[in-house]
Structure 1
Amino acid sequence: HPFLQRQQLSYTIIVVEQSNDSSFNRGMLLNIGFTEALLQDKYPCFIFHDIDYLPEDDRHSYSCPEDGKPRQMAFAIDYWDNYRPVPRYIFGGVSAISTHDFQQINGYSNLFLGWGGEDDQFY
């Protein structure tokens, strides 16, 4: 993880996968990852990072946001060498939130199956 090491961060990477053939439930996976992580340590914040988003610029800081100020961290998406800005109303892909805030809102909805929805509601 050279990108994170260059930022001299203390971090843990936790991978959460869905192992059944049911419809994909991203919200539930992120909630499970959050709960399991807090069994390991008292993390001040979480950066939820979809596996298909890659950091390409060291100027993007993976720091904890302040309470009350969750942060969308994906600035552009590369669709076949055609970068497009991420719409402001989307809170998916790569997002940072304090542990306190995530607990206050009770995490992501577990009701969205398939692609999308949970991040829109989260916003």
Structure 2
Amino acid sequence: MPVSPYTQERLDEAARSSRTLSEALTKLGVDPKSSTRRYLNERMKKLDVDISHFEHEGVRWTKDLRRALRETGVPEHCAKCGTAPEWNGKPMTLEIDHINGDWSDDRRENLRLLCPNCHAITSTWCRGGKQRRT
């Protein structure tokens, strides 16, 4: 069985000097969006590498993106069916849809708010429009 190049020492050092998992992976020379991300995250946990100080990247990004959309005047309703962020008297989260399917393209003209039903039937929902690589 080959020895992993991601030793306890390398993982400890990368984690200690980083604020996020993506930052640690970059320091290890790994693309943070690659499939190796999950492997290294699990390896860090298995080797008991301290990652308790890591910030959760997606939560802040989504809140900032929602705030920016609100500030630019994007109406708080589904861009397809017009549903407000309330369903049967209860709050409902409208989802951010990247129209061209590229989740890293946060230009205003590429973003819209959709209700979960309308978002689920788009070709870009959960990368639904892209073929899986085998």
TM-score normalised by length of structure 1: 0.28
Structure with bigger gyration radius: 2
TM-score normalised by length of structure 2: 0.26
Return the structure number with greater strand share.
1
